[in-house]
Amino acid sequence: MTIYVLTALFTIVAGIVTLASGTREGVAGWRSFWGGGYVMLGIGMAVFDLQTFDRAFRVSAGAILSLCGAVLVTQGVRLLAGRNPHWPRLVAALLAVSLVPLLSHDLAHRLQRIAYIDYTMMIADIWAAVTALRLARHERLRTAWMLGGTFVLTAVIGFGRGSLSAAFALGMNAQFDFINNIWMAVALAACWPMRGNLPTLVAAERAERALLRLATEDALTGALNRTGLDRLRARMTGGAGLILIDLDHFKALNDRMGHAEGDRTLQLVAAAVREVGGPGSRFARLGGDEFLLVLPGRSLALTAETADRVCAAVEEAVLAHRRSEWGRYGDLPPVTASIGVASGNVAGEGFARLVAEADEALYRAKRAGRNQVSLMRDAA
């Protein structure tokens, strides 16, 4: 009885804390479902041990509250993962899990009822685990991996107790009660404390990631900003190739077509450069219409080859957009890219030196007629 009471109290408190932290989200936020589900789970456990009510009522009411709480917790994980609530399915699930406890009051079928509860909660835990693990893989959140893992653990525990309930339905109740107490101790000591707080940690990690993106990424293009580039530079060692890009005729486009069209062009250029750079490259916007593509471990020859493809990709992306907007641009010259290339050791002051080399090469490309690639002087 003590284990049930302690588990119930902890679960209710965890649910209330979650509900209190999400008052600004409204009733459709993940905290409302997770917190409400935890409160119902805790009350359901407590009802099982309330001696003031008829035992048949306690068993049915406790089962309904616990199962509905498990469904709400699962819905909370779904909302935490960014899914929209599906109200008809939610209502149908709540009614479905409540049906058997509502209609079955025969105390002789206690173990069968426990098996039903455990198997149903196991299904809910598996669903929540899959959702949490997908979130972890998609957003690379360590706390989401932990959340999914705790649901896997409780699903395994639920399957084990459900299977034992079915096996002990033949009459070995004393042995079952002993194993049931062990199950509750494991659930209390290993699962409930961690799982109760993990969704809040997932939300906190996600918020921290969002703040880091705001601080280190350019909102328009998704490229690193200067702060992000400084962080990258501090971590880099060894050799790398740098491709410094400055757009030709961009100011004329911006003045004639407006900032909205200029922003769209910058986004097209960023997407084209990022695609050419491929996995492992890092892309930064230095300001205005100037970008930097960093290629770790690339020689000057390989970097120059990539720069040629960047130059062609930028021209093609802009021309394709112009063709889709036929007639709007008039005699405006197309936006192209002048590119400076440098390669070498980026440790220490090496990165700044290579950027300066690439900058000199870029202006040689500008003076030579634009829309072309120029290499650092040591390779010229």
In a domain, 221, yes or no: no
In a domain, 220, yes or no: no
Same domain, yes or no, for 106 and 237?
A: no
pLDDT tens track of the chain, all 380 residues?
566 677 788 888 889 989 888 656 555 689 999 999 999 988 988 887 776 667 777 778 888 888 899 999 999 999 999 888 777 888 888 888 777 766 666 555 666 777 788 888 899 999 999 999 999 999 999 999 999 999 998 898 888 777 776 666 555 555 556 666 666 666 655 676 678 889 999 999 999 999 999 999 999 999 999 999 999 999 999 999 999 999 999 999 988 889 999 999 999 999 999 999 999 999 999 999 999 999 999 999 999 999 999 999 999 999 998 888 766 777 788 899 999 999 999 998 999 999 999 999 999 999 999 999 999 986 54
Structure tokens at 190: 């290993």
Residue at 273: amino acid letter: V
Give the CATH number for residue 243. Answer: 3.30.70.270
Same domain, yes or no, for 251 and 321?
A: yes
In a domain, 183, yes or no: yes
Same domain, yes or no, for 206 and 319?
A: no
Domain end position, chosen among 188, 214, 240: 214
pLDDT value at position 98? 79
pLDDT value at position 261? 92
Same domain, yes or no, for 165 and 257?
A: no
Same domain, yes or no, for 129 and 149?
A: yes
In a domain, 109, yes or no: yes
Structure tokens at 301: 């020859």
Same domain, yes or no, for 273 and 184?
A: no
In a domain, 140, yes or no: yes
pLDDT value at position 380? 47
pLDDT value at position 332? 85
In a domain, 146, yes or no: yes
The residues, any chain, with a CB within 8 Å of residue 358's CB and separated by 6 or more, are 242, 243, 244, 292, 340, 341, 342, 376
Contact predicate 35/22, CB 8 Å: yes
Specify the number of domains making up the chain: 2
Q: What's the predicted TM-score (pTM) here?
A: 0.75
Q: Residue 136 sits in which domain range? A: 2-214
**Alpha-carbon span 305 to 373, nearest angstrom:** 10
Same domain, yes or no, for 169 and 204?
A: yes
Same domain, yes or no, for 20 and 141?
A: yes
In a domain, 235, yes or no: yes
Domain end position, chosen among 175, 190, 214: 214
Same domain, yes or no, for 114 and 49?
A: yes
Same domain, yes or no, for 239 and 206?
A: no
Same domain, yes or no, for 177 and 283?
A: no
Same domain, yes or no, for 198 and 255?
A: no
Domain end position, chosen among 214, 239, 254: 214
pLDDT value at position 214? 92
In a domain, 219, yes or no: no
pLDDT value at position 54? 72
The residues, any chain, with a CB within 8 Å of residue 108's CB and separated by 6 or more, are none
**Alpha-carbon span 41 to 62, nearest angstrom:** 9
